Structure 1
Amino acid sequence: LVLMDCQMPVMDGFEATRNIRGGTSKVLNPEVPIIAMTANAMMGDRERCIAVGMNDYIAKPVQPSELLERLNNWLGKAQSREAPVAAPAVKPAASEIFCEAELFQRLMDDENLLRRIVLAFNSDTPSHIVELRDAVEAKDYVVARRLAHNIKGSAANISAPALRQAALVLETFIKNENYDQLAEPLLDVEQQMKLLLQAMKDRGYL
C-alpha cells in the first residue's frame, strides 16, 4: 500500500500515480492500493485523486482513527474484537485559534510530544510569516505561494484552523493571480499568527 503525498517536489503525487498505473515505474505491482494524502481538502480533490488512479483519499492533518480505518479497508485486516474503539475525531471550528483537544487526540495524549511540536512550530513558522510579506512586497509570487502553502500545512499540523484558513485564502488569491488583492489576506495571516502565539503562551506552551 502507498500513502501518496499529492504535493511532493519535482514529481507530484498525481504524476507519480500515473507512472505507477501506467507501468512506467519500477513498482512491482502497478495495481498496488494508493491512498492520497493532501492538505487541500477542497471540493473536487477526491474526484481528481480517483481520476488519476488513486484508490482512496485522506485529508491532512491525518487523524489516527481515520488512517486506521483506511488501512484496514485496503489491507483487508479486520479489527480484533478486543481492539479499543477509537474516540470520535475532534472537529474544530474553522474560526478556532488553537484546538488543543484535537492536537492532543492526534498525538494520542502525549503532552511531551505536543510541547516539542509547539516549540518546533514556534522556531520556524513566525519567520516564514516575515518571509511571506517580503516575498509579496517583492512581487515574488512563486515564493509567496510556496510559503503560504507551507504555513497552511504547519497550521493544520498544529491544529490552528483560523491560521490554516487564512493561509489557504492567501494561497488561493496568489494561485488565481489576484495580486492586487493580497493586502487584506496577508494581514489576516499575520493577525492569526499573533493570536495563535498568544493562545499558546496563555496555555503555557511557550
Structure 2
Amino acid sequence: MEQEIIDSKFLESMSGKRPFLKRMFTVFISQEPKRIMEIKDALDSRDVERLRHLAHSLKGGAATIGVERVRQCCLALENASKARDMDAAMTHMGELEAEMRHAYAFMFNFLANN
C-alpha cells in the first residue's frame, strides 16, 4: 500500500482547526522551497554537516504537518549525510524533491478547496 502524501489521521485530528491547518500549509509552501535550495547547495558543496542540519530541520517541519513521505526522505538524507555517503544523499535528494512536489500539490489543492 502506498503511503499517503499527508497522513489522514493528522488531517482528521485537524478537522476542527481548518484555519490553523491552512496557515500551516501556507507557511510550509512559502518557506520550504528556500530550505530545499539550501539543501541542494549543501549537497553540491559536499557540506555534510550543513546537509545533515537542514535535512533534520525539514524532517521536523514535515513531521509536524503529517507529510510522512517527506519526513522519511529527510531521515534517509540525514542518515546519508551522517555516513558521508554523497551518492546515497544525491539519490535521496531526488526522492525528496519528488515528494515535496506531491506535498505542495496536495496543499495547494487543499487551500483552493477549503
Q: Tell me if 1:115 matches 2:22.
A: yes
- The one-letter code matched in structure 2 to 1:140 is D
- The one-letter code matched in structure 1 to 2:97 is E
Q: Deviations over 1:141-172 (max 9, x none)?
A: 11111110011111111111111111111111
Correspondent of 1:166 among 70, 73, 81:
73
- The unaligned stretches of length 5 or more in structure 2 are none
Correspondent of 1:156 among 43, 52, 63:
63
1:9 equivalent in structure 2: none
RMSD: 2.0
Q: Deviations over 1:82-106 (max 9, x none)?
A: xxxxxxxxxxx8822112541441x
SS at structure 2 position matched to 1:109: coil
**Greater strand fraction, Structure 1 or Structure 2:** 1
C-alpha deviation, 1:193, in angstroms: 0.3
Which runs of 4 or more aligned residues in structure 1 lie more than 6 Å from their structure 2 counterparts after TM superposition?
A: none
1:28 equivalent in structure 2: none
TM-score (norm 2): 0.87
Q: Deviations over 1:32-84 (max 9, x none)?
A: xxxxxxxxxxxxxxxxxxxxxxxxxxxxxxxxxxxxxxxxxxxxxxxxxxxxx
1:60 equivalent in structure 2: none
CA distance 1:195–1:137, change in 2 (3 Å): same
2:97 equivalent in structure 1: 190
Number of equivalent positions: 113
C-alpha deviation, 1:181, in angstroms: 2.4
Q: Deviations over 1:107-158 (max 9, x none)?
A: 4721111111111111211210111001100111111111100111111111
TM-score (norm 1): 0.50
Fraction of identical pairs, as percent: 28
Q: Which structure has the higher relative contact order (CA within 8 Å, separation 6+)? A: 2
**Greater helix fraction, Structure 1 or Structure 2:** 2
Q: For the Cα contact (< 8 Å) 2:67–2:103, is it kept in 1?
A: yes
CA distance 1:94–1:175, change in 2 (3 Å): farther
Q: Tell me if 1:129 matches 2:36.
A: yes
